[in-house]
């Protein structure tokens, strides 16, 4: 069952039934000011950091679901309704929510009044702009009452939810004309405030929640709205809000537009905070308000935002003949990659914004999904990430975006982390050709005076693995590798302890990871190639030897007969082996060791992938391990704590399915690669939205696996490495167009019955119009013609910036 449809022309998903199986959300803003918005206008805004600068309040996992947001209430002669259906849930005559690229348009209609509400954050603006267009479709004139509503968060989203003995006394507001200001804590150390304004004179307001809603009422029955009369309340403590009251008269057929601005102001210096004693300096707020004080100005800013996205999405355009694939590659997968880049894993409807900062490994992986759109921001991100590394190559597992400092509560010791820095940096250089980044001076742990070149950071990353080898000469796992929940040195029996933060017993541990081994071979080879590119042949030779040793160690100690082992535990016992009772085979090591092609000639890659097909594949995707754990294993940790079929215990972790897909392309099995890709691709599962539950336009982190109570049910949409990995896999390995140092490599791996496809790709300033023709093979380039001239091999040589080039590829 579907709850809407794609509108590819406008790059929107159109939700036509507000009762989606889970709130289906979108993201506004792409630099500093961000908002989350659901299909019923729920959600919240924040500045840079969803924990420390939460502007509006949101209630996660509440009853009813998705409570709190920017709400417009219309009182039409006693009938009270919202354009987005919630919170009143008055049955609408028409409802539509269009989620587009960083904007959302929600339209509701009731008794001949249509309310179209547009929400977006204009470029370079610290505000969410909302345009409300009311139209009277009736034959007679109408007088209606419009109320806006936003509830302020007391800045720190974590303490906002717990420190009530203080919070209930701190709230402060100012009211001036049609602007309502949230100046809580401004008197003390803060140098920022928020405001909510509208571009017309108002007939009233409320700034105190209890006065507006009523202590025992719900969002669906605010007493001011039902009474049709605001209270002119001025909040002192308790819960400050901002609500405007506007009386609107509409002639038959008439439309009126109102512009609301929900903004944030921050002062660089404390000296200019105040206008006079106790009165905040409103100049910056007024400047922003003035920029959007007419509907025409808002429309122009909206066009600018759309133009921005046209330009970003123009850098990779596919025509495959498969509508569902094209819309993912050209629109939604790229969009999700950008959102994931901006938010890492901090704020979604599954990530509360208070739990996690930016992940070291996560952010590096996210890079491969958006680097072609805006290389300069990828560059900046790499430097930020590398600055949180330790001198020995180890890394803080997470850092906070506001301070860019590593998080001490979670610390380091995840031994896969250093490899991802190589992964991200190489992707950046191949895309941009910018080797100069390697010479940038980057500190360790953000300590001034410790700066070394970024290249040095890559060297210590590489060395970190080889300096931490275990008894089988395989990488020691540390606290965990990519799988945060495989905690081999944790041994927790205390239910009050978090698996993620508790002290690990790594001392004397023999726990080794085959996933890191495969990752090291892939990234290690990238490092070797990079060294050669910059003429450091000595370092290349040194590193290559270690990579080759790792390949041998995997062949010797990492093979179980039909597949690669997953790990060795603390005591040196096999994990992911036929000898084990449960979890005999895992996806991660099959993915990385086949991507690395370890034992290709000996048939290991084929055997491993055949075992994946046999034991891990199911209707909805590839599960993480099999059989699922049905018992808690203290030696393994969190992985065995999940019920069978969910999350890291045999769930379909969409993030790692692409590793197997890439493995299949190493083998040249384009049909298997495509089949796996399609199974988890959202536009292909749109029809089962009722089972799937989450948005059909973006990937979810996890789909319940075959052992689950409800296989096929997805969770944790939006902020997941799945976005980047699937984009990387489809564009660079299935369609096979891959940035290389010397040009664009073309090496598709597709089902034999595909006749071909076309891609327009921007690369280092030039445009390449690539046409791939296939007559019955899955892999192999027989002929490459660039601008009419045949070229040997499968690399399209770099063309001058600004040029438009034709590339013809004949597979065979
Ligand atoms: C989550 C984490 C990621 C981790 C994965 C598997 O997606 O963000 O860092 O690798 O789970 O545990
Ligand atoms: C939980 C999640 C996992 C995530 C980890 C890190 O264990 O299951 O996916 O990576 O937390 O926060």
With beta carbons less than 8 A apart as the criterion, state whether 398 and 753 touch.
no
Which pLDDT score is estimated for 506?
86
Tokens standing for 396?
């803080």
Ligand 2, pocket residues at CB < 6 Å: 356, 484-485, 500, 638, 647-648
Q: How far is the CA of 480 from the centre of ligand 2 (A)?
A: 11
The values of phi and psi at residue 616, to 5°, are -105, -25
CA distances (Å), origin 657, targets 519, 569, 651, 740, 767:
15, 24, 11, 24, 31
Rounded Cα distance, 95 and 777, in Å: 48
Given a contact cutoff of 8 angstroms between Cβ atoms, the answer to whether 387 and 443 are in contact is yes
Q: Take residue 172 and report the two structure tokens written for it.
A: 């402060």
For the CA of 362, the nearest ligand: 1
Mutate to test the pocket of ligand 1, among 655, 658, 717, 719 (most ligand atoms within 8 A of CB): 655
Average predicted confidence (pLDDT) for the chain: 97
Q: Calculate mean pLDDT across residues 534-547.
A: 98
Pocket flag, ligand 1, residue 362 (CB < 6 Å): yes
pLDDT digits 0-9 by tens, 188-212: 999 999 999 999 999 999 999 999 9
- The pLDDT assigned to 607 comes to 98
3-class DSSP state for residue 365? helix
Atom of ligand 2 nearest to the CA of 499: 7
484 lines ligand 1 (CB under 6 A): yes
Q: What is the pLDDT of residue 117?
A: 98
Q: Which atom of ligand 2 lies at the shortest distance from residue 648's CA?
A: 8
Angstrom distance (rounded) from CA 732 to CA 755: 18
Percent of the chain with pLDDT over 70: 100
Residue 409's pLDDT is 82
Q: Read off the pLDDT of residues 97-137 as tens digits, 9 standing for 90 and up.
A: 999 999 999 999 999 999 999 999 999 999 999 999 999 99
Q: What's the CA angle centered on 354, arms 353 and 357, to 5 degrees?
A: 75
Q: Which ligand has the minimum distance to the alpha carbon of residue 701?
A: 1
Give the position, in ligand 2's atom list, of the atom nearest the Cα of 355: 12
Q: Which atom of ligand 2 is nearest to the CA of 702?
A: 9
**16-30, 139-153, 499-513, range with the lowest pLDDT:** 499-513
**pLDDT tens column, 160-177:** 999 999 999 999 999 999
Q: How far is the CA of 416 from the centre of ligand 1 (A)?
A: 12
Ligand 1 atom with the shortest distance to the CA of 483: 12
Task: For a ligand 2 pocket test, name from 624, 648, 654 the mutation site with the most ligand atoms within 8 angstroms of its C-beta.
Answer: 648
CA of 647 to the centre of ligand 2 (A): 9
- Whether the predicted pLDDT of 349 surpasses 80: yes
Q: Pocket of ligand 1, candidates 482, 586, 657, 658: which has the most ligand atoms within 8 Å of its Cβ, to mutate?
A: 482
Asked if pLDDT for residue 546 goes beyond 90, the answer is yes
Neighbouring residues of 496: CB distance < 8 A, sequence distance ≥ 6:
none
Predicted local distance difference test score (pLDDT) of residue 84: 98
**pLDDT at 93 > cutoff 90:** yes
pLDDT band at residue 407 under the 50/70/90 scheme? confident
Where is pLDDT greater, at 338 or 401?
338
The residue whose CA has the least distance to atom 8 of ligand 2 is 647
- Residues with Cβ within 8 Å of 486's Cβ and at least 6 positions away in sequence, in order, are 477, 480, 566, 567, 575, 636, 637, 638, 639, 648
CA of 396 to the centre of ligand 2 (A): 16
Q: Which residues pair with 59 in a beta bridge?
A: 67
183 C-beta closer than 6 A to ligand 1? no
Q: What is the mean pLDDT of residues 455-474?
A: 98
pLDDT digits (tens, 9 = 90+) for 738-747: 999 999 999 9
Q: Mean per-residue pLDDT for 70-94?
A: 98
3-state secondary structure of 684: helix
Mutation to probe ligand 1, out of 357, 480, 484 (largest number of atoms < 8 A from CB): 484
Calculate how far, in angstroms, residue 483's C-alpha sits from the geometric centre of ligand 1.
6
How high is the pLDDT of residue 713? 98
Active site residues: 484
Strand partners, 181: 174, 195
Q: How many helices (H) and strands (E) does the chain have?
A: 19, 44
What are the phi and psi torsion angles at 565 (to 5°)? Answer: -60, 165
The predicted model gives 411-421 an average pLDDT of 96
- Residue 462: both structure tokens together: 């590489």
Model confidence at 356: pLDDT above 80: no
For residue 99, the CA-to-ligand 2 centroid distance in Å is 28
What is the spatial distance between Cα 4 and Cα 105, in angstroms, rounded to a whole number? 14
Give me the pLDDT at residue 403, please.
84
DSSP H stretches of helix in 467-625:
514-533, 537-557, 587-595, 604-611
425 CB less than 6 Å from ligand 1? no
Ligand 1 atom, smallest distance to 721 CA: 7
- Asked if residue 637 has its Cβ within 6 Å of ligand 1, the reply is no
Q: Confidence band (pLDDT; 50, 70, 90) for 522?
A: very high
Q: Is the CB of 359 under 6 A from ligand 1?
A: yes
Report, as an integer, the average pLDDT of 7-16.
98
What DSSP line would sit under 703-722, residue for residue? E--TTSSSTT-EEEESSSTH
Place of tokens 């080759």: 548
3-state SS assignment for residue 33: strand
Closest approach atom of ligand 2 to CA 716 = 9
Q: Which of 484, 501, 718 to mutate to test the pocket of ligand 2 (most atoms within 8 A of CB)?
A: 484
Expressed in angstroms and rounded, the spacing between residue 343 Cα and the centre of ligand 1 is 15
| Angle between helical axes of 514-533 and 587-595 (0-180°, round to 10) | 30
**Tokens 């275990």 sit at which residue?**
470
| Index of the ligand 1 atom closest to the CA of residue 480 | 12
pLDDT (average), residues 692-696: 98
Residue 50 scores a pLDDT above 80: yes
Q: Tell me the three state secondary structure of residue 640.
A: helix
Task: Tell the residue nearest (CA) to atom 4 of ligand 2.
Answer: 484
Helix (H, G, I), strand (E, B) or coil at 423: helix
The residue whose CA is least distant from atom 10 of ligand 1 is 482
* Ligand 2 geometric centre to CA of 47 (Å): 25
CA proximity to 145, closest of 229, 206, 68: 229
Q: Is the pLDDT of residue 258 over 90?
A: yes
Question: Looking at the predicted structure, is the pLDDT value of residue 345 above 90?
Answer: no
One DSSP character per residue, 518-555 reads: HHHHHHHHHHHHHHHHTT-HHHHHHHHHHHHHHHHHHH
Q: How far is the CA of 748 from the centre of ligand 1 (A)?
A: 29
CA distance 74 to 250: 13
Cα 484 to middle of ligand 1, angstroms? 6
Q: Is the CB of 648 under 6 A from ligand 1?
A: yes
Gap between the terminal Cα atoms of the chain:
41
Q: What is the pTM of this model?
A: 0.96
Residue 343 has pLDDT above 90, yes or no: no
Q: What is the mean pLDDT of residues 701-730?
A: 98
Percent of the chain with pLDDT over 90: 95
């Amino acid at each position: 069952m579907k709850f809407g449809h794609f509108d590819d022309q406008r790059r929107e998903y159109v939700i036509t039934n507000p009762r989606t199986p889970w709130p289906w959300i979108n993201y506004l803003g792409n630099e500093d000011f961000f908002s989350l918005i659901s299909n019923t206008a729920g959600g919240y805004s924040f500045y840079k950091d969803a924990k420390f600068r939460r502007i509006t309040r949101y209630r996660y996992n509440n009853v009813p679901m998705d409570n709190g947001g920017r709400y417009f209430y219309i009182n039409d002669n006693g009938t009270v309704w919202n354009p987005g259906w919630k919170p009143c849930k008055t049955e609408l005559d028409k409802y539509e929510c269009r989620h587009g690229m960083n904007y959302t348009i929600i339209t509701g209609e009731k008794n001949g009044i249509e309310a179209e509400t547009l929400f977006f954050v204009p470029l370079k603006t610290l505000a969410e702009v909302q345009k409300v267009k009311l139209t009277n479709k009736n034959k007679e004139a109408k007088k209606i009452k419009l109320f806006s509503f936003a509830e302020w968060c007391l800045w720190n989203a974590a303490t906002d939810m717990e420190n009530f003995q203080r919070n209930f006394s701190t709230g402060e507001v100012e009211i001036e004309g049609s602007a309502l200001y949230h100046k809580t804590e401004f008197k003390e150390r803060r140098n920022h405030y928020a405001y909510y304004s509208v571009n017309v004179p108002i007939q009233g307001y409320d700034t105190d929640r209890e006065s507006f809603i009523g202590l025992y009422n719900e969002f669906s029955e605010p007493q001011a709205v039902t009474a049709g009369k605001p209270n002119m309340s001025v909040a002192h403590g308790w819960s400050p809000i901002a609500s405007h009251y506007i009386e609107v008269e509409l002639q038959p057929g008439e439309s009126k537009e109102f512009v609301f601005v929900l903004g944030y102001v921050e002062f660089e210096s404390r000296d200019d905070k105040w206008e006079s004693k106790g009165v905040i300096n409103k100049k910056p707020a007024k400047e922003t308000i003035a920029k959007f004080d007419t509907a025409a100005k808002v429309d122009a800013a909206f066009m600018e935002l759309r133009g921005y996205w046209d330009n970003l999405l123009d850098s990779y355009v596919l025509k495959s003949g498969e509508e569902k694939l094209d819309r993912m590659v050209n629109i939604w997968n790229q969009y999700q990659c950008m959102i994931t880049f901006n938010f890492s894993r901090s704020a979604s409807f599954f990530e509360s914004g208070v739990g996690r900062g930016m992940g070291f490994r996560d952010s590096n992986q996210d890079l491969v999904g958006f680097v072609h759109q805006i290389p300069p921001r990828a560059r900046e991100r790499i430097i930020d990430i590398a600055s949180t590394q330790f001198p020995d190559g180890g890394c803080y597992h997470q850092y906070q975006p506001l301070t860019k400092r590593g998080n001490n509560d979670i610390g380091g010791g995840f031994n896969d982390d250093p490899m991802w820095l190589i992964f991200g940096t190489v992707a950046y250089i191949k895309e941009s050709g910018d080797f100069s980044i390697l010479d940038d001076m980057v500190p360790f742990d953000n300590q001034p005076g410790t700066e070394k070149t970024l290249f040095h950071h890559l060297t210590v990353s590489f060395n970190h693995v080889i300096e931490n080898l275990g008894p089988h000469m395989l990488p020691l796992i540390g606290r965990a590798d990519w799988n945060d929940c495989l905690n081999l040195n944790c041994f927790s029996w205390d239910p009050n302890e978090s698996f993620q933060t508790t002290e690990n017993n790594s001392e004397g541990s023999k726990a080794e990871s085959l996933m890191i081994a495969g990752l090291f071979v892939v990234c290690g080879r990238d490092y070797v190639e990079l060294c050669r590119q910059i003429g450091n042949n000595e370092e290349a030779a040194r590193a290559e030897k270690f990579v080759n040793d790792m390949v041998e160690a995997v062949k010797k100690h990492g093979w179980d007969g039909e597949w690669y082992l997953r790990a060795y535990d603390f005591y040196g016992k096999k994990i992911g082996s036929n000898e084990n009772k449960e979890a005999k085979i895992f996806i991660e090591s099959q993915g990385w060791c086949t991507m690395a092609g370890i034992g290709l000639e000996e048939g290991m890659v084929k055997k491993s992938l055949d075992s994946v097909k046999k034991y891990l594949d199911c209707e909805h995707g590839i599960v993480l391990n099999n059989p699922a754990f049905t018992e808690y294993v203290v030696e393994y940790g969190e992985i065995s704590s999940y019920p069978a079929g969910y999350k890291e215990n045999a769930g379909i972790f969409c993030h790692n399915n692409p590793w197997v897909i890439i493995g299949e392309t190493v083998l040249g099995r384009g049909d298997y690669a495509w089949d796996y890709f399609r199974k988890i691709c959202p536009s292909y599962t749109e029809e089962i939205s009722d089972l799937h539950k989450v948005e059909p336009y973006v990937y979810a982190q996890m789909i319940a696996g075959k052992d689950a109570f409800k296989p096929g049910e997805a969770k944790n949409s939006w902020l997941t490495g799945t976005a980047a990995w699937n984009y990387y896999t489809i564009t660079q390995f299935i369609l096979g167009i891959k940035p290389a140092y010397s040009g664009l490599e073309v090496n598709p791996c597709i089902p034999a019955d595909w006749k071909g496809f076309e891609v327009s790709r921007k690369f280092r300033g030039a445009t390449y119009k690539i046409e791939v023709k296939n007559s019955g093979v899955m892999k192999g380039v027989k002929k490459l013609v660039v601008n009419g001239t045949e070229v040997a091999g499968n690399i399209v040589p770099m063309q001058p910036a600004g040029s438009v080039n034709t590339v013809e590829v004949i597979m065979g």
